[in-house]
């Protein structure tokens, strides 16, 4: 659901959507072409680049691909979901099928359910009963995941373990949609890994463990404290005034409240909409503003930012 502060704000946003850039979506098309071309160029030239440089170039490219997939599922660059699905189905980042990411993320956009464990599919919190019933080791892992360093080190393994547990149960329950999705994604992934093994110097294990997992870990920095528990749904979502390298990697999703209020707004317009009404956005968020990801590292590199147990659900 679109959100506007007043009629003037609505007019400002509509004027952005009427521009040539928004009508043609050329920045998103250009980015799609660049990511595809970049991936093939790095893989095919990996013998010249060497494993080290190939890895260092592929990791941020995969982070950017994950951000780009997010744009595709929100209706960019075309209005047709099936076209966007075809454009974003390449399994460069390996682990999450596009369809699964799309369906779970759109459920996450029910703002009244944000952070609620068992309801918000992207919640990083536990119900009181689950927290009380967890072992000391499990609690330690959850506390560690509430630090920035922990999120970088164990965030991806924890997420992949939860993904495997949930999806294996769906497959065990003989859900046709799950079987079709994973067979299709699995075939595409095997084809991609064959290409990597055949035309690059990167072994398959290297691509899986030293490229795709680190890329997922970096992508998870964005979601580290993207949402917080709060009685007011609009005050659960952060406004992160990050620097340009992070904004590029995350395609401006650091302005996350703006995205949740205006989910159809393209990535290149999020900063404009935020800065033209910054004071009002800050007030709407209840002051939930972070001065870049460096602030998280300084304050919560080794210190948990809050409790893994949800405070009121």
* 310 within domain boundaries: no
* 291 within domain boundaries: yes
Q: What is the model's pLDDT at position 4?
A: 83
Q: What is the model's pLDDT at position 1?
A: 60
* 80 within domain boundaries: yes
Along the chain (313 residues), what's the average pLDDT of each consecutive run of 10 residues?
84 92 96 98 97 98 98 96 97 96 93 93 92 94 96 94 94 95 97 98 97 96 95 96 95 97 96 96 96 94 95 80
* 146 within domain boundaries: yes
CA distances from 23 to 6, 76, 78, 79, 203 (A): 24, 11, 10, 11, 42
Q: Tell me, yes or no, if the pTM score tops 0.85.
A: yes
* 1 within domain boundaries: no
* 307 within domain boundaries: no
CA distances from 118 to 115, 130, 253, 260, 288 (A): 9, 11, 24, 20, 24
* Number of separate domains in the chain: 1
Q: What is the model's pLDDT at position 312?
A: 84
Give the residue from 75, 111, 101 showing the smallest Cα distance to 264: 75
How far from each other are the two terminal CA atoms of the chain, in whole angstroms? 24
Secondary structure, 3-state, 255-295: CHHHHHHCCCCCHHHHHHHHHHCHHHHHHHCCCCEECCHHH
Model confidence pLDDT, tens digit, residues 255-295 = 999 999 999 999 999 999 999 999 999 999 999 999 999 99
Q: Which domain holds residue 198?
A: 7-300
* 2 within domain boundaries: no
* 187 within domain boundaries: yes
């Amino acid at each position: 659901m679109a959100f506007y502060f007043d009629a003037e704000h609505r007019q400002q946003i509509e004027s952005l959507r009427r521009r040539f850039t928004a009508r043609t979506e050329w920045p998103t098309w250009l980015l799609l072409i660049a990511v595809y071309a970049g991936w093939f160029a790095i893989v095919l030239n990996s013998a010249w680049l060497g494993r080290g440089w190939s890895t260092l170039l592929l990791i941020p490219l995969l982070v950017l691909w994950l951000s780009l997939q997010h744009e595709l599922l929100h209706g960019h660059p075309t209005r047709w979901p099936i076209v966007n699905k075809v454009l974003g189905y390449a399994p460069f980042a390996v682990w999450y099928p596009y369809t699964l990411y799309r369906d779970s993320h759109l459920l996450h956009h029910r703002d009244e359910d944000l952070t609620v464990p068992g309801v918000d599919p992207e919640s990083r919190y536990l119900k009181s009963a689950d927290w009380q019933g967890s072992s000391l080791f499990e609690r330690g892992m959850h506390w560690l995941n509430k630090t920035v360093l922990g999120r970088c080190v164990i965030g991806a393994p924890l997420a992949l373990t939860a993904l495997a547990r949930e999806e294996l149960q769906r497959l065990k329950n003989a859900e046709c949609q799950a079987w079709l999705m994973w067979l299709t994604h699995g075939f595409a992934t095997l084809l991609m890994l064959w290409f990597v093994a055949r035309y690059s110097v990167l072994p398959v294990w290297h691509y899986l463990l030293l490229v795709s997992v680190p890329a997922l870990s970096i992508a998870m920095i964005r979601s580290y404290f993207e949402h917080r528990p709060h009685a007011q749904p609009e005050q659960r979502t952060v406004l992160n005034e990050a620097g340009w390298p992070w904004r590029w990697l995350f395609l401006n999703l650091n302005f996350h409240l703006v995205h949740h209020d205006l989910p159809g707004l393209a990535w290149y317009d999020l900063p404009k909409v935020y800065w033209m009404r910054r004071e009002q956005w800050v007030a709407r968020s209840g002051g939930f503003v972070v001065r870049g990801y460096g602030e998280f590292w300084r304050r919560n590199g080794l210190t948990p930012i809050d409790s893994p147990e949800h405070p009121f659900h």
